[in-house]
Amino acid sequence: MEAFPAQRGAYRTRVSALPAVTLYGRSMDPSFWRDRNVLVTGASGLLGTWLCDALLAGGAHVIGFLRDQVPRSRLEVEGIGKRMTLVHGDVTEPETIERAVNEYEVATIFHLAAQTIVGTANRSPVSTFRANIEGTWNVLEAARVISTVEQVVVASSDKAYGSHEKLPYSEDAPLHGEHPYDVSKSCSDLIATSYHRSYGVPVTITRCGNFYGGGDLNFNRIVPGTIRSVLRSERPIIRSDGEFTRDFIYIEDAVDAYVSLAEGMARKPEVSGEAFNFSNERPLKVVELTDIILRMMGREDLEPVIQGEASNEIRDQFLSAAKARGVLGWEPRFDIEQGMERTIDWYRSHIR
């Protein structure tokens, strides 16, 4: 027997107590997730696959929204997609999104779909703006008009802040991206806030650093690219001069962050409309991260090739996660070596 409060976004509770579901070392609230209809856009991406896997383990009914079928994704190779409802479409197609939200009576939306590669954004800004900005307002508009939606978590980025002299970024830092990818994230972030302030859509925003973990197929990123190079006994490539500073957050910690945020919205109404940084708060230069991977894989003889060709990118970025710790009780459980060990093991098992 369930009690469904009339207030939109209110916490749904059950009379009988349910045992907690432990995932990646943290407890998911079964009273919240069990039998909940959850839409994940960008379901075949790195974060999407890990998040869908977690939600399924927590008892949710997961609807994955994805544009392309990616045969090598974890969704395919580990059979995660077979346990989900898959909707194929593009976030720039509002009718497809609205149909998915309406027909499956979605209660929680994780909007992850985006063009995420900085180099691609520099080469094709218009398609990036369409995917990242128009895609976001399409999802939020569906949430505005369909009353079943109780939570929307929108994935922004640390790059939405643009370049600042004062670091680490805190959530009250202004958003002023300058380059195509950064601007797309600044805009989508502000649009999400607007939908909450103007229409009461229950939305929160995540701002994270660079994700890494098993299943990332974008090998032009530093982590999977370096690991693949080592497995092929090749020198890893660093596109920049190696001195750019970044946050790197292990994917299981990122999943914890998203789950914690959705649960926090249900427990604390004041969380809606807020943005949260998630970080392990150990910024690294790109060359330092490469050296860690080479050391852990026992191939320090493979000296990186430093190309120094990166352009239209922010030089130094890292985040404070104090707000997430204080409000949500979230904190990372994996340091860089622990997360990287799991990541390396995944690629050793899957790269032939």
Number of C-beta neighbours around residue 8 at 10 A: 13
42 vs 55: CA distance, rounded Å: 15
Helix (H) or strand (E) holding 108, with range, is: strand 108-111
Asked if 65 and 87 count as a contact pair (C-beta separation under 8 A), the reply is yes
Q: How far is CA 168 from CA 29, 79, 144, in A?
A: 31, 39, 34
Yes or no: say if 297 and 226 are a contact pair by the CB < 8 Å rule.
no
- Local structure of residue 325 (DSSP, 8 states): I
Distances in Å between the Cα of 272 and the Cα atoms of 8, 11, 33, 191 are 12, 13, 18, 14
Residues 6+ apart with CB under 8 A from 313: 118, 179, 240, 244
Q: Distances in Å between the alpha carbon of 50 and those of 32, 73, 159?
A: 19, 11, 22
Q: How many CB atoms lie within 10 A of CB 275?
A: 19
CA distance 21 to 1: 20
Can you name the residues that pair with 169 across neighbouring β-strands? 319
Distance between CA atoms of 180 and 332, rounded to whole angstroms?
30
Which residues are marked as active site? 181
How many CB atoms are located within 10 Å of the residue 61 CB? 20
Report the C-alpha gap between 262 and 274 in whole angstroms. 12
| Contact present, 264 and 331 (Cβ < 8 Å) | no
